[in-house]
Amino acid sequence: MRLFVGLGNPGGKYAGNRHNIGFMAVDEIARRHRFAPWRARFQGEMSEGSLGAERVLLLKPSTYMNDSGRAVGEAMRFYKIDVTDVFAFHDELDLAPAKLRVKRGGGNAGHNGLRSITAHCGNEYWRVRLGLGHPGHRTLVYPHVLSDFAKEDIPWLEALCNAIPANAALLAEGKDEEFQRKIHQAMEKSGFGKQAES
């Protein structure tokens, strides 16, 4: 069993924020693969389904980004899921827009959601890093991530949120490098290769 966690902030006023790209990704996985309806569990919203041969739980913490680890830890303990079977989908300032990278473990790069998961669950979970690009100066980071995607971002965002569920079974089956490669190919095919490679 895998646990796919989308990171974001709950509530309508945050729904279109760049910081909520993790929510957007797991929402699309649930929709495309006809997962069970979302229900309130583990201080968040949870949905269950299958990707390929793997049973997958989707979780969107309702605790706000800074405290995401509490919800993740509760779900892990209840289902006895190992930290190495947890995948956190999150926004990444150090990647260009439309770019995706997958890695296990590593640093949290100042991301409060990742820091919380590490504090509650350990560090050896997978990061599915969804590139936003950096606004240029650290004082601009919070306004950047807590504002909605710009109109010009929507085409690549939709392409990425289509490519992720289309290839999510590879990730669930442990084929992380193939998943990453397929996403890059899909983005290139959609005309976002330059962003995806920068």
Active site annotation includes 19: yes
Per run of 10 residues, the mean pLDDT along the chain (length 198 residues) is 96 92 97 96 96 96 93 96 96 92 86 92 95 83 87 94 96 95 94 59
Q: Quick one: pLDDT at residue 194?
A: 58
Maximum separation of any 2 CA atoms in the chain, in Å: 45
Residue pair 198/94 in contact (Cβ under 8 Å)? The answer is no
Domain boundaries, the chain: 2-197
Q: Quick one: pLDDT at residue 45?
A: 96
b/e sequence 105-115, b meaning 16+ C-beta within 10 Å: eeebeebbbbb
Q: Quick one: pLDDT at residue 183?
A: 95
Among residues 19, 90, 144, 184, which one is catalytic? 19
Interatomic CA distance for residues 66 and 117, integer angstroms = 9
Place of tokens 């269950």: 48
Q: Quick one: pLDDT at residue 193?
A: 67
Of the candidate CATH numbers 2.60.40.10, 3.40.50.1470, 3.90.700.10, 3.90.25.10, the domain formed by 2-197 belongs to: 3.40.50.1470
